Amino acid sequence: MKLEIEDVSKQYRRGVLALRSFSLELKPGVLGLLGPNGAGKTTLMSILATITKATEGRVLWNGADVAANPDSLRSVLGYLPQDFGVYPNLNAVEFLQYLAAVKGLDASTSARRIEELLELVNLTEVRKRPLGGYSGGMKQRVGIAQALLNDPQLLIVDEPTAGLDPEERVRFRNLLSDLSGERIVILSTHIVSDVEATATDIALIAKGSLVAHATPEALLLQVEGKVWEWVVPSADLTQAKQQFLISSTTRRSDGVHARVLGEDPPLGASLASPNLEDAYLYCLSQHRAGATA
């Protein structure tokens, strides 16, 4: 099982270049796709989900060009778009039955699968309620269920935890981890903690280009010895932010504890253990510095 993205570019009307020669090779596991807003994550997801075609380059599923035969991928694809709708007059079971029919599942298989999925996403109690009365988080869980209807080999989820409460977010993270064994899961998000909890690989994307592709450990290694904890008086924080790259701040009684990223520490700062958010921000800042140079 292999998904190859070869030099994929996507240009929209009016010349907007959303992806530039993007290449990546994926094998079973969870890929966390991280990037700032407008980086091209959703465009990449749409191309991989066969919603739109790449302007240049190829996507290969097990060696076969997806553009030439999209159905070879669609048969094994589960897709949760960032923004999707539901039919408000249908209840969750009816909506999933409809999409199961569209995906080509037979009645008995889909009936069993839908029962399991509703249990999985914690919607069993409200399964007969029209979707028009669902909250945003409940609709999102219906979206997660439909993405898993056909037991996909390639699962693409775009901002899946948006709108979920903390409990459901944790539940979904665990689900993704459990699902990842024999399938490729692509998790696109800008919530670093979601990726930290589930991803076996991370791809950083900015301005349509691949900035880094590595394991979380390798990314963390890049910032090892470059993260500093620095206590700054509140009054000096604005100036400190102009001088240093600060990934986070916490207010305490002795001042603001800032995590500073860089080769050289500020005066009085102590070395800190890096986390994925530090690595993400450091890589992006390096990329921006490189692009500017």
- x/- string (CB under 8 A) for another protein, residues 189-218? --------x---------------------
Q: Give me the long-range contacts of 239-247 (CB less than 8 A, separation at least 24).
A: 240/266, 245/281, 245/282, 245/285, 247/277, 247/278, 247/281, 247/282
Does 12 contact another protein by CB under 8 A?
A: no
Size of the site for another protein (CB under 8 A): 71
Give yes or no for a contact between 187 and 30, defined as CB atoms under 8 angstroms apart: yes
Least distance (Å) from another protein to the CB of residue 44?
14
Does 53 contact another protein by CB under 8 A?
A: yes
Q: Which stretch binds another protein (CB under 8 A): 91-99, 204-212, 229-237, 255-263?
A: 91-99
Q: Which stretch binds another protein (CB under 8 A): 82-90, 215-223, 227-235, 237-245?
A: 82-90
Does 128 contact another protein by CB under 8 A?
A: yes
Output the CA torsion sign for 125, 131, 133, 137.
Answer: positive
Q: What does the DSSP 8-state code read for residue 234?
A: G
Beta-carbon contacts of residue 46 (< 8 Å; ≥ 6 apart)? 52
- What is the layout of strands, in order, in the sheet containing 255-261? 245-252, 255-261, 227-232, 270-271
Q: Which stretch binds another protein (CB under 8 A): 32-40, 106-114, 215-223, 224-232?
A: 106-114
How many Å apart are CA 39 and CA 57, to the nearest integer?
18
Does 1 contact another protein by CB under 8 A?
A: no
Axis-axis angle for helices 166-179, 136-147 (nearest 10) = 10
**Interface with another protein in residues 220-279 (CB under 8 A):** none
Residue among 99 and 212 whose Cβ is closer to another protein: 99
Name which position in 36, 38, 88, 233 contacts another protein (CB under 8 A).
88
